[in-house]
Amino acid sequence: MIIPHSRKIHEFALYTAKASEYRAGELTLKDPDMVHRIVTVLRVARGEGIILFNKEFHARFVCTQMSKKEVTGVLAAKEPNQRALPVVDVLLPLLKRESLEEAIYGITECGGDSIQLVMTERVQRKWQGLHDFERLKRIQIAAAEQSKHYTFPEIKEPIALKDALAQLRVPLMCADVEGQPYLQTDKEHVALLVGPEADFTDTERELIKEHNATLFKLTSTVLRAHQAATVSVAMIKTLGMYSKLLK
């Protein structure tokens, strides 16, 4: 089957939990929310393409017929999602609501692979369980759609910092103003820890040192926690990308 020509314009990406059910060829989308976003929000025109994805696959879908109730088009063969190395598992302190949302968005946007929320001694908020989790997942999906980070990270419910460190099986890196003024890693899988809004306590710093963390300095200034998380993931992923090109 020939896929209709699509103009060379920006193509939106939409997450759908049903992506695994789709098969290459003609496809009709009937989910009301999906149809509304394609037709009314994004205003995709006939002949234009979008990317449909879940955490395993992504595929280009070219719209051919549209109405307020359904969208018909042609789906290309699904391609498995690929992770960009190094894999970065983020240990993220439970920040205040707005900062936590920005951190989740930024980590996802920059290619983080998992997010383990951690409780530190100076935490300033409580975890609201399923309510918080569902809200953060929606933010994360929005970031994945914007950035086309199809393998967006899993968010894990908060555990104590000491427990998060105890279960690590990969090298630990920690963004810290007292760290070395450079970032270098040849590892394919690392854990990244950033400090909470009120910083770590002396006891927590000793615990981090016991786990042989590599301390690195991001800038000559002090960043907020959510900024440090985003910048750190971006730097590690970028170094990994350029290291691969130079080999």
Q: In the chain, what are the domains?
A: 13-80 (2.40.240.20), 87-246 (3.40.1280.10)
Q: Which two tokens stand for residue 222?
A: 């002090």
Count of C-beta atoms within a 10 Å radius of residue 94: 19
182-235 pLDDT, tens per residue?
677 678 999 999 999 989 999 999 999 999 999 998 888 889 999 999 999 999
Q: What is the amino acid identity at position 93?
A: P
The residue type found at 70 is E
Instruction: Please enumerate in sequence order all residues whose Cβ is within 8 A of that of 166, keeping only pairs 6 or more positions apart, or say none.
Output: none
Chain segment 80-111, per-residue pLDDT in tens: 999 999 999 999 999 999 999 999 999 999 99
Beta bridge partners of 75: 25, 61
- Looking at the chain, the whole-number percentage of residues with pLDDT higher than 90 is 79
Please state the φ and ψ torsions of residue 55, each to the nearest 5 degrees.
-80, -5
Mean pLDDT of the chain: 91
Q: Which residues contact 93 (CB under 8 A, 6 or more apart)?
A: 117, 118, 119, 120, 123, 161, 194, 195, 196, 197, 225
Could you read off the pLDDT of 114-148 as tens digits, one per residue?
999 999 999 878 899 999 999 999 999 999 999 99
Predicted confidence (pLDDT) at residue 69 exceeds the cutoff of 90: yes
Query: What pLDDT score was predicted for residue 182?
Result: 67
Helix (H) or strand (E) holding 228: helix 225-246
pLDDT exceeds 50 at position 3: no
7 pLDDT more than 60 = no
